[in-house]
Amino acid sequence: MVSGYVDGANLKSRLRDKMAGTAQTGAASSSAKTPAAPRSAHVARKYQSRQNAIVEAASAVLNRKGLKGMTLADVGEPLGLVGTGVAYYFASKEALTAACYMRSLGVFEQLIAGAAAAGPSPEERLGGFVRGYFTMRKRIALGEMAPIAQFDDVRTLADQAVIDAYVVMFRNLRRLFGALEDRGVARFAITERAHHLLHQFLWVEAWLPKYDAQDFDRLAEKVLDVFLHGLASGEAHWPPSRLAAPHFHAAGKDEAYQTFLRAATQMLNDHGYLGASVERIAAKLEMTKGAFYHHIDAKDDLVTICFARSSDIVRGTQRASLQMPASGCDRLASALMSLVQHHLDGEAPLLRAATVSLPETIRRQVMLAYDRNAVLFGSMLSDAMADGSARQIDVQIGAHLLNGAVNGIAELPYWLPNPPVGDAAEQFVRPLFDGLLSTWKDRS
């Protein structure tokens, strides 16, 4: 076992430190700013009903515009309220955003509870969670349920009540895998599988709108098939080869520039687009603002370049794996393992694709880059199925899950501090190839 396994208290402390962002300037969390409800039972029910309607409306706006772009007037418009009317229920958009996140976490807790009741085995519980999630998303798509807020701006908000609730939700999700300890799976490995599962479903937001709601039940079974049985047919070999880290090529830029981009990427991962101010980035890099602007003209330029750098690293690693004299599945595994290892050792960190607060032009570029990565993953997966090293699955679903794994890499250090890089990489990647519940005793 790895001694760096994170228990609940340690994890909560790390997330609090990582998410400490702009909210440190306030004395209390934003959720504490919500006005108290009236005491009359009838009036209180009416007040609560209106609060719930505001939170539901705000969740949709938050997903479109992010914390920075959302205004109280935007939220109130579909409800026939002006901004000051919304402010009667929520004193600030930060307080409202915290309420949106708490509602989303409540939905996830309900899904987890339903999965836990699906049966005693991890297989039954995993199936319950996957099917429950896609049923929930189908209800949202059909207008039977209000949208839930994406968690892209959690670090920027840095609300302690939200952070605590998020940690509790993750611990409850991890318990769905608890029986794996009896099968000899290490605790830190179970944590990584729970992290992998959670971030696959956070990434679903990026690709699910491409499908019709009537197909969501079929999608659930296709995704569950990969989670239970993996991508590999049984011919994949471990450990796969480690590929050299590709470098982002910027004309006329030296190694100091590469160092600058690596540090800026980590800062953006820690604090999000809104929380990573020029002042904060410059301080982290121990440079003056003038020196910062020597490298980059503006923060938006920095974000664009960091995303371009991450995309180049992913595609460069994909292409390098295609040159390997190996099976298609081994090439995929080598690409994923190498990306995890290079991120964890700091050689080529990847930028987390939290997009809702990005300016629209940057958001389009980011999603286009991820779509291109998915297309190449799909092509590589087709090759692996053709040579027999991968199971016959839905290629598009497999590509989405490979892309989701890439986006989850940036979050690994928050959940597993300082594990051996090789162990962490294998425990995060291999479940996608062997199945999230595999003990690997039948394959080596």
pLDDT, one tens digit per residue, over 182-199 is: 888 888 888 889 989 998
User: What pLDDT, on a 0 to 100 scale, did the predictor assign at position 443?
Assistant: 40
User: What pLDDT, on a 0 to 100 scale, did the predictor assign at position 18?
Assistant: 45
- What does the block give as tokens for 404? 């989701």
Please determine, for residue 324, whether its predicted confidence score (pLDDT) is greater than 50.
yes
Find the range with the poorest average confidence among 21-30, 41-50, 185-194.
Answer: 21-30
Which value, to the nearest 10 degrees, does the dihedral of the CA atoms of residues 104, 154, 26, 28 take? 30
Q: Which domains does the chain have, with CATH numbers?
A: 8-176 (1.10.357)
What percentage of residues in the chain have a pLDDT greater than 70?
81
Please determine, for residue 131, whether its predicted confidence score (pLDDT) is greater than 90.
yes
Question: What is the average per-residue pLDDT within 116-138?
Answer: 96
Please determine, for residue 121, whether its predicted confidence score (pLDDT) is greater than 70.
yes
User: What pLDDT, on a 0 to 100 scale, did the predictor assign at position 235?
Assistant: 57
State the pLDDT confidence band at 208, using cuts at 50, 70 and 90. Answer: very high
Please determine, for residue 64, whether its predicted confidence score (pLDDT) is greater than 70.
yes
Contact 4, 416 (CB under 8 A): yes
- What does the block give as tokens for 67? 């914390």
Question: What is the average per-residue pLDDT within 10-20?
Answer: 47
User: Which residues have CB under 8 Å from 35's CB, separation 6+?
Assistant: 88, 89, 90, 91
Hey, is 347 helix, strand or coil? coil
CA distances from 94 to 64, 153, 162, 357 (A): 16, 10, 11, 14
Distance CA 49, CA 206 (A): 31
Please determine, for residue 27, whether its predicted confidence score (pLDDT) is greater than 60.
no
Residues 70-111: tens digit of each pLDDT: 899 999 999 999 999 999 999 998 999 999 999 999 999 999
Question: If you average pLDDT over each of 65-69, 74-78, 148-152, which comes out highest?
Answer: 74-78
Which residue shows structure tokens 């393992």? 337
User: What pLDDT, on a 0 to 100 scale, did the predictor assign at position 440?
Assistant: 65
Question: What is the average per-residue pLDDT within 399-423?
Answer: 79
User: What pLDDT, on a 0 to 100 scale, did the predictor assign at position 24?
Assistant: 39
User: Which residues have CB under 8 Å from 24's CB, separation 6+?
Assistant: 158
Q: Which amino acid is at 221?
A: E
Please determine, for residue 389, whether its predicted confidence score (pLDDT) is greater than 70.
yes
Which residue shows structure tokens 């920075």? 68
Question: If you average pLDDT over each of 9-18, 131-140, 237-246, which comes out highest?
Answer: 131-140
State the pLDDT confidence band at 176, using cuts at 50, 70 and 90. Answer: very high
Residue 247 class from Cβ within 10 Å (0-12 exposed, 13-18 middle, 19+ buried)? middle
State the pLDDT confidence band at 254, using cuts at 50, 70 and 90. Answer: low
Hey, is 159 helix, strand or coil? coil
Distance CA 132, CA 142 (A): 15
User: What pLDDT, on a 0 to 100 scale, did the predictor assign at position 378?
Assistant: 96
User: What pLDDT, on a 0 to 100 scale, did the predictor assign at position 419?
Assistant: 61
Hey, is 349 helix, strand or coil? coil
Which one is predicted more confidently, 43 or 382? 382
Which one is predicted more confidently, 38 or 281? 281
Distance CA 280, CA 303 (A): 14
Which backbone phi and psi does 276 adopt, to 5 degrees?
-90, 80
Residues 326-346: tens digit of each pLDDT: 999 999 999 999 998 888 887
Q: In the chain, what's the furthest Cα-to-Cα distance?
A: 74
User: What pLDDT, on a 0 to 100 scale, did the predictor assign at position 263?
Assistant: 79
Please determine, for residue 173, whether its predicted confidence score (pLDDT) is greater than 50.
yes
**62: part of which helix (H) or strand (E)?**
helix 41-69
State the pLDDT confidence band at 427, using cuts at 50, 70 and 90. Answer: confident
Mean residue pLDDT of the chain comes to 83
Which residue shows structure tokens 């250090």? 413
User: What pLDDT, on a 0 to 100 scale, did the predictor assign at position 56?
Assistant: 96
User: What pLDDT, on a 0 to 100 scale, did the predictor assign at position 11?
Assistant: 47
CA distances from 135 to 142, 216, 325 (A): 11, 7, 42
